[in-house]
Chains A and B, each alone.
Chain A
Amino acid sequence: MNATKRFLRSRPYAFALVVFVVLLVANIVAQPSFASPSNWPETLAIFAPFGIAALASTPAIMSGGGGIDISIGPLMTVIDMIIVADLLPHGLGSPWIVVPFCLIAGAAVGAVNGTLVTVLRFQPVVATLCMNFILTGLATQIEGASTPQGSTWWTNDLASSFGPVPGGLISIAAPLLIWLALSRTAYLRNLYATGGDDAAAFSAGVDVTRVRILGYAIGGLFAGVGGLALMAVLREGEAGDATMYTLVALAAVALGGTAFTGKRGSLIGTLLGAGCMYLITNVLSAARVPDTWTDAIYGLLLLVAVIFGAGLASATQARTT
Chain B
Amino acid sequence: MPSSPSKRRPQASPLAEAGPVALRVTGLAKAFGPTVALRSCSAEFRAGEVHAIMGENGSGKSTLVKILTGVHRPDAGTVELAGATARLVAAPGLRSPGAAIKAGIMAVFQEVLVVDSRSVLDNAWLGADATFGRHLPEAGRRARATAVFAELLPDGIDLDAPAGGLPLSQRQACAIVRVLLREPRVLILDEATSALDVATRDRLFAALGRRRASGMCTIFISHRMDEIGEIADRVTVLRSGESVGTLDRAEVTPDKLVQLMTGADHLAGGRSAHQRLDRPVSADSVLQVRELRLRPRAAPVSFTLRAGEVVGLAGLEGHGQDDFLRALWQGSPNGQVLRVAGTAATPIRSARHAAALGIGYVPRDRRSESLFAPLSVQENFGVVTSGADRRFGLLSHAARRARLAGYRDSLGIRMGKPTDLITTLSGGNQQKVVIARWLAREPRILLLNDPTRGIDLGAKRDIYALLDKLAADGVAVVMLSTELDEHVELMDRVLVFREGSVGAVVERDALSRAALVSAFFGQESPR
- Bound Cα distance A190, B175 (Å): 16
- State in angstroms the CA–CA spacing of A205 and B96 once bound together: 8
B interface footprint on A170-207 (CB within 8 Å = 1, 0 otherwise): 00000000000000011101101100110111111111
**Residue in B closest to A259 when the chains form the complex, CB atoms:** B117
User: A-B contact count, CB below 8 Å?
Assistant: 84
A214 an interface residue at 8 Å Cβ cutoff? yes
With the chains together, A185 CA to B109 CA distance in Å? 29
| Interface: A320 (CB within 8 A) | yes
Least Cβ distance of B136 to chain A in Å? Answer: 10
Q: Quick one: given A201-B126, A205-B101, A319-B165, are A190 and B131 in contact (CB under 8 Å)? A: yes
Complex Cα distance, B129 from A199, in Å, reads: 17
CB distance from A107 to the nearest CB of B (A): 15
| B115 and A186 within 8 A (CB) | no
- Whether A200 pairs with B114 at a CB distance below 8 angstroms is yes
Within 8 A of A (CB), among B78-115: 96-98, 100-102, 107, 109, 113-115
**Residue of A187, A200, A205, A210 touching B115 (CB-CB under 8 A):** A200
Smallest Cβ-Cβ distance to A209: which chain B residue: B96
Query: A319: nearest residue on chain B (CB-CB)?
Result: B165
Q: A189-B129, A190-B129, A319-B165 are in contact. Are A196 and B97 (CB under 8 A)?
A: no
Interface size on B, residues (CB 8 A): 31
**A264: CB under 8 A from chain B?**
yes
Distance in angstroms between the alpha carbons of A263 and B163 in the assembled complex: 13
The answer to whether A186 and B129 touch across the interface, beta carbons within 8 angstroms, is yes
Residues of A within 8 Å of B128, CB to CB, are 205
A211 at the B interface (CB under 8 A)? yes
**Which of B100, B117, B162 counts the most A-chain CB atoms under 10 A from its CB?**
B117
CB pair A189 B114 closer than 8 Å: no
Among B96, B100, B109, B133, max chain A CB count under 10 A is at B96
List of B residues within 8 angstroms of A200 by Cβ: 113-115, 123, 126, 175
Instruction: Please tell me if the beta carbons of A196 and B115 are within 8 angstroms of each other in the complex.
Output: yes
Q: Which residue of chain A has its CB nearest to the CB of B117?
A: A196
Q: Is B114 within 8 A of A205, CB to CB?
A: no
Q: A203 contacts which chain B residues (CB < 8 A)?
A: 69, 97, 107, 109, 113
Interface size counted on chain A using CB atoms at 8 A: 27
Cα distance A196–B164 in the bound complex, in angstroms: 11
Bound CA–CA A320/B102 (angstroms): 33
Within the assembled complex, what's the spacing in Å between the Cα atoms of A203 and B99? 11
CA gap between A200 and B108 in the complex, in Å: 10
Q: What's the nearest-Cβ distance from chain B to residue A177, in Å?
A: 16
Complex interface bits, A107-128 against B, C-beta within 8 A gives 1, otherwise 0: 0000000000000000000000
Contact B113 A199 (CB under 8 A): yes
Look across to chain A and name the residue whose beta carbon is closest to the beta carbon of B107. Answer: A203
Decide: B117 and A263 in contact? CB cutoff 8 A: yes
Q: 14 extra interchain contacts, Cβ-Cβ under 8 A, other than A202-B96, A206-B98? A: A186-B131, A186-B134, A196-B117, A197-B113, A197-B115, A200-B115, A200-B175, A203-B107, A204-B97, A205-B98, A316-B164, A317-B164, A320-B116, A320-B165
A-B contact pairs, 17 of them (CB 8 A): A185-B134, A189-B122, A189-B129, A190-B129, A193-B126, A197-B115, A200-B113, A200-B114, A200-B123, A201-B126, A204-B113, A204-B126, A205-B97, A205-B98, A205-B128, A263-B117, A317-B164
Using a CB–CB cutoff of 8 Å, the interface residues on chain A facing chain B are 185-187, 189-190, 192-193, 196-197, 199-207, 210-211, 214, 263-264, 316-317, 319-320
10 residue pairs, one from A and one from B, having the closest CB atoms: A204-B127, A186-B129, A205-B127, A196-B115, A200-B113, A205-B98, A205-B101, A320-B164, A204-B126, A196-B117
